[in-house]
Amino acid sequence: MPITVVTDTCAYLPPEVIEQFNIAVVSLYVHIGGEAIREADITDYGDYFRRLGSASELPTTSQPSIGDFLAVYEPLIDAGHEIVSLHLAGGMSGTVHTAEQARQQLGGAADRVRVIDTHVAGGAQGLMVQTAAKTIERGGDLDAVVSRVREVHAAMRFWFVVDTLEYLRRGGRIGGAQAWLGTALKIKPILSVAEEITPVERVRTTKRAFDRLVALLEQTRADGADGWAVQHIQAPEYADALVERGRAIFGREPLFVSEIGPVIGTHVGPGLIGAGAIPTALVT
């Protein structure tokens, strides 16, 4: 049976990657003024983040419904496909649990769907989704796809810097970085995701944070990673600079460069820059 990869909008993969691998995407929601808006329908990120910066109260976000997942799963099942469905960390969102509930409603076809909690978000999730798609492209069956995705998760490293912890604090998603609140709001924290927001280290300026990201990429290259990616929120100049440094480190183009949208962006705020890497030998 052909295998289709399904993910959610919080991977923020570029449209060309989605199209290349025929990845199906289920949208999360942003709630503004009592209205639920599909993240996939928000195309002007600049306008969204400008309004976010002046909002007295942050918008809220929510997971897709069971019906949203079934609207993707059922046509694929009817067409004879198997599905591997990779989603935002269960510790941050109920998305993966809803996907599992939808799978269970497929009756006898439920065993043709594997739902995977990536335990990460954003670019790290995107690297896992891309791994699944490339494994399928190379002829891997459903078990092989699941196995490779788990291997990549164990080997992958991904970090991000936020301009301030204020959005994480206001949105209640501060996670293990709680200890850095107070005067730490004036620092540039380097974070990662391991089920929840996880603190890595603190630096005091944007330049030092950028330099530290470069150093972390250099370390991953020394450790054998050679496939890399960059993401940002309304920080294209820093993303471009990081891509330039990444090319020098890895000697190749990034697997993808993309901008994070409203669902995750609501909780971390504009100004984020992130990067990470995987050993591509795991998917060749």
pLDDT score of 176: 46
Give the residue-averaged pLDDT of 55-73.
93
Candidate from 14-18, 50-54, 103-107, 169-173 with smallest mean pLDDT: 169-173
pLDDT score of 1: 85
Domain extent for 80: 3-155
Report the CATH number at residue 257. Answer: 3.30.1180.10
Last residue of a domain, one of 155, 175, 210: 155
Give the residue-averaged pLDDT of 107-114.
97
Report the CATH number at residue 86. Answer: 3.40.50.10170
Q: Are residues 124 and 179 in the same domain?
A: no
Higher per-residue pLDDT: 183 or 194: 194
Give the residue-averaged pLDDT of 105-131.
96
Calpha distance 14→140 (Å, rounded): 24
Burial grade of 62 (CB within 10 A; 0-12, 13-18, 19 or more): middle
Give the residue-averaged pLDDT of 64-74.
98
pLDDT score of 196: 67
- Cβ 159 vs Cβ 273: under 8 Å: no
Tell me the residue type at 81. Answer: H
Q: Are residues 15 and 149 in the same domain?
A: yes
What percent of the chain has pLDDT above 70? 92
Domain total in the chain: 2
pLDDT at 180 over 50: no
pTM: 0.92
Q: Are residues 116 and 244 in the same domain?
A: no
Q: Are residues 191 and 149 in the same domain?
A: no
Q: Are residues 190 and 141 in the same domain?
A: no
